[in-house]
Amino acid sequence: MTAAVEPASALPRGAVTLRGVRKVFGGSGEAATVLQDLDLDVAPGEFLAVVGGSGCGKSTLLSLVAGLVEPTAGTVRVGGKVALMFQEATLLPWLTAAKNVELALKLQGVARRERRDRARHLLGRVRLGRYADKRPHELSGGMRQRVALARVLAQDAAVVCMDEPLGALDALTRDQMHDLVEDVWLEARFTVLFVTHNVREAVRLADRAILMGDRPGHVVHEQANAMPRPRVMDSSAVAMRSAALTQSLKEEVASHDQSDYFVI
């Protein structure tokens, strides 16, 4: 069975549903089952964090939702367009920040004058209005990720898949990006699937976190999070909620003897 990105009329905008998903890479003799019996429902507008040990299929899950790969078995249904944001900003180095954002609009057929104005407006939303004419090498890592976020917003996607987008940033910049990502999401209310190795980050940002088990990947635990926003990474409330999820993650990692993996 193949993945299907359903139109909004067939599935509520932003909804994501996976049923009985199995994903195998490689041919006979070298086949590796990355995901098995994966069922998942993500509500429209939900911020879902995905945590788990290295190699448990978190990035493969995002690729399936984005339609980059098809499941070997099962179904993937997505209500609307999907945008991706990676750990690296993946900006075109010869274009300015504004032109990098404009590119997403150009691919949608937006007229030149409109896309110029919209790109600068979006850079203003991510607090980079003064840097619209700077090229990537003139920006810090956090600034480049903000340009990448503006490019995501330019796509007007119903679902945004974020694959450890803040993992390479220093602690202070990462904390500032938490606030920015949350603010943008609360305003636009797209659905987010956010992969992270950082349990506190998951608790800080998400409405719900799922823990994926390994060999092959599947959901082994989930934790709803109704804590009021905004949340603070170093607060006792976030720490207490993180502790339970961290313990579940450690137990899952230990059960597969992934001694090279650690929890932040």
Residue-wise pLDDT for 1-43, tens only, equals: 334 444 444 789 999 999 999 999 887 677 889 999 999 999 9
Q: Tell me which amino acid residue 211 is.
A: L
Mean pLDDT of 239-250: 83
Q: What is the pLDDT of residue 91?
A: 96
Q: What is the pLDDT of residue 31?
A: 82
DSSP 130: G
Residue-wise pLDDT for 51-108, tens only, equals: 988 888 999 999 999 999 999 999 999 999 999 999 899 999 999 999 999 999 999 9
- 135, 144, 140: which is closest to 93 by C-alpha? 135
Mean pLDDT of 39-52: 96
Report the alpha-carbon distance of residue 50 to residue 220 in Å, rounded.
11
Q: What is the pLDDT of residue 100?
A: 97
Burial pattern 75-104, b for ≥16 Cβ within 10 A else e, equals: ebbbbbbbbbbbbebebeeeebbbbbbbbb
Q: What is the pLDDT of residue 219?
A: 93
Q: What is the pLDDT of residue 207?
A: 96
The answer to whether 190 and 45 are in contact (CB under 8 A) is yes
Residue 250 phi, psi dihedral angles, 5° rounding? -60, -40
**pTM for this predicted structure:** 0.90
Q: Which sequence spans correspond to the domains of the chain?
A: 4-81+157-255
In CATH terms, 4-81+157-255 corresponds, of 3.40.50.300, 3.40.50.1820, 3.40.640.10, 3.30.1490.190, to 3.40.50.300
Q: How far is CA 103 from CA 205, 224, 238, in A?
A: 29, 37, 38
Residue-wise pLDDT for 132-187, tens only, equals: 999 999 999 999 999 999 999 999 999 999 999 998 899 899 999 999 999 999 99
pLDDT of residue 264 exceeding 90: no
pLDDT of residue 259 exceeding 90: no
Residue 90 phi, psi dihedral angles, 5° rounding? 50, 45
Report the alpha-carbon distance of residue 227 to residue 225 in Å, rounded.
6
